[in-house]
Amino acid sequence: MKLTDDWLTAPATQAVMQMLETAGHQAFFVGGCVRNAALGAPVSDLDIATDAPPQSVITLANAAGLKPIPTGIEHGTVTVVSDHIPHEITTFRRDEETDGRHALVAFSTDIAEDAARRDFTMNALYARSDGEVLDPLGSGLADLQARHLRFVGHAEDRIREDYLRILRFFRFTAWYGAPENGPDAEGLAACAALAEGIDGLARERIGAEMRKLLAAPDPAPVIASMAQTGILSRLLPGADAKALPVLIHLENGRGPDPLRRLACLTSQPATAALRLSRAEAKRLARLREAAQDIGSPTEMGYRLGVEDGCDAWLVRAALLEMPMTPDWPAQIAFGAAQTFPVTARDLLPALQGKELGDKLAELEMRWIGSGFTLDRAHLLG
């Protein structure tokens, strides 16, 4: 196979490859850029593997007038910026020692050793500067073409090296696996057997993986597998996956939204479990509470606005398996455009404090119940 994508032939990227090759070093594109290009999917990050030591990469980049940044030099990674495009260059490595969270690596000059330490066979594909694809393991290209997400070597060995690979297994299966085949059986069994290892992972890493998983076009089958193996409840106690496929069916082109889907999975606060930001936690609570408490799409739009109103209504419909009328988006938009005609000033000084708040809430509910038709005079009369 030979790749011919525009990103590969871009002068800025070719300059980085030539910087290494003209100095006598091996240089290969690797990982996601090769995998996605082979699938015809968009490429974002450019990773390059080389036998050049990190300090040599820095020296060569400076000599070529490029900008080297030692982003992970202790692990062999230098980011080289060429014409504003970052290229993450990592020296071939082999694992010397691992503890499930961190690895002690040694630099290598052997592409086969580098491929053997990678997580999945479809991520162990390399490409020369001319686009020719190399498959050092001999199985990565076939697995990619079959959409078979499979661990390199023995699944349990790869997981023990880094327990985050349990979540990466599910995330990559959702994005790149063939839905009709389900998760790889050996990989799924290994994830279930070693699930306790998740407990030692940083919540930030777990949250990042879950966001990426829930952003897949249809993560429902994979989430169901996580539920069946007990991994989902370990990550999100009390989570229930049964409404997620209903939600994804109802989304109907609205685009994946991890928080909308998370609101469909759990009613428990997920802030600590996934290290959500304050804004994410607030939005998640709004969506879930509105889905449980608000009974009409017009009120949903009034309370939450168009975007969150639509998301909360979808979550409500999925949780209750509720039929959707064709005009529900228009009803939410109508509600979002309404402005309550009464203010606190209208009730002062006769009412104050709690009585004032209670009266405003009562009038607001009357106004909403009237379909937003009662005007200020009728409400105050």
Look at the chain and count its residues: 381
Tens of pLDDT, residue by residue over 151-195, are: 999 999 999 999 999 999 999 999 999 999 999 999 999 999 999
The β-bridge partners of 126 are 30, 134
Extract the runs of DSSP E, i.e. beta strands, from the chain. 27-30, 47-50, 67-72, 77-82, 85-91, 93-98, 103-107, 126-127, 133-134
The β-bridge partners of 97 are 104
* Average pLDDT in the chain: 95
Asked if 100 contacts 156 with a C-beta cutoff of 8 angstroms, the reply is no
On whether both 166 and 190 belong to a single domain, the answer is yes
On whether both 141 and 275 belong to a single domain, the answer is no
Residue 95's pLDDT is what? 75
- DSSP annotation string for 116-140: HTSSBGGGS-EE-TT-BEE-TTSSH
CA distance linking residue 151 with residue 156, whole number of Å? 9
* Mean pLDDT on 263-271: 87
On whether both 354 and 324 belong to a single domain, the answer is no
Asked if 194 contacts 164 with a C-beta cutoff of 8 angstroms, the reply is no
Is residue 104's pLDDT more than 70? Answer: no
On whether both 189 and 293 belong to a single domain, the answer is no
CATH number for the domain harbouring residue 67: 3.30.460.10
Grouping H, G, I as helix, E, B as strand and the rest as coil, residue 92 is coil
Residue with tokens 């994830």: 191
Is residue 35's pLDDT more than 60? Answer: yes
Q: What is the percent of the chain with per-residue pLDDT over 70, rounded to a whole number?
A: 98
On whether both 309 and 263 belong to a single domain, the answer is yes
On whether both 90 and 163 belong to a single domain, the answer is no
Q: What is the DSSP letter of 268?
A: S
Tens of pLDDT, residue by residue over 55-99, are: 999 999 999 999 999 999 888 999 999 999 999 999 999 876 665
Structure tokens, 208: 């990042």
On whether both 320 and 352 belong to a single domain, the answer is no
Pick the last residue of a domain from 97, 116, 146.
Answer: 146
Task: Give the DSSP H or E segment for 60.
Answer: helix 54-63
CA distance linking residue 111 with residue 91, whole number of Å? 10
Residue 242: CA count within 13 A, CB half-sphere: 5
Residue 99's pLDDT is what? 56
Torsion angle, alpha carbons of 246, 368, 364, 361, to 10: -40
On whether both 92 and 120 belong to a single domain, the answer is yes
Pick the last residue of a domain from 107, 130, 146.
Answer: 146
Structure tokens, 160: 């023990």
Asked if 272 contacts 247 with a C-beta cutoff of 8 angstroms, the reply is no
CA distance linking residue 121 with residue 98, whole number of Å? 20
For residue 312, count CB atoms less than 10 angstroms from its CB and return exposed for 0-12, middle for 13-18, buried for 19 or more: buried
pTM: 0.90
CA distance linking residue 19 with residue 301, whole number of Å? 56
Lowest mean pLDDT among 146-160, 257-271, 335-349: 257-271
Residue 271's pLDDT is what? 83
Domain that holds residue 371: 341-380
Residue 100's pLDDT is what? 52
Grouping H, G, I as helix, E, B as strand and the rest as coil, residue 66 is coil
Tens of pLDDT, residue by residue over 216-266, are: 999 999 999 999 999 999 999 999 999 999 999 999 888 999 999 999 998
On whether both 55 and 86 belong to a single domain, the answer is yes
Is residue 121's pLDDT more than 90? Answer: yes
On whether both 172 and 297 belong to a single domain, the answer is no
How many structural domains compose the chain? 4
Pick the last residue of a domain from 146, 177, 198.
Answer: 146
Tens of pLDDT, residue by residue over 305-329, are: 999 999 999 999 999 999 999 999 9
Residue with tokens 């040694």: 106
On whether both 18 and 97 belong to a single domain, the answer is yes
CATH number for the domain harbouring residue 181: 1.10.3090.10
Asked if 298 contacts 336 with a C-beta cutoff of 8 angstroms, the reply is no
Grouping H, G, I as helix, E, B as strand and the rest as coil, residue 48 is strand
On whether both 28 and 125 belong to a single domain, the answer is yes
Is residue 102's pLDDT more than 70? Answer: no
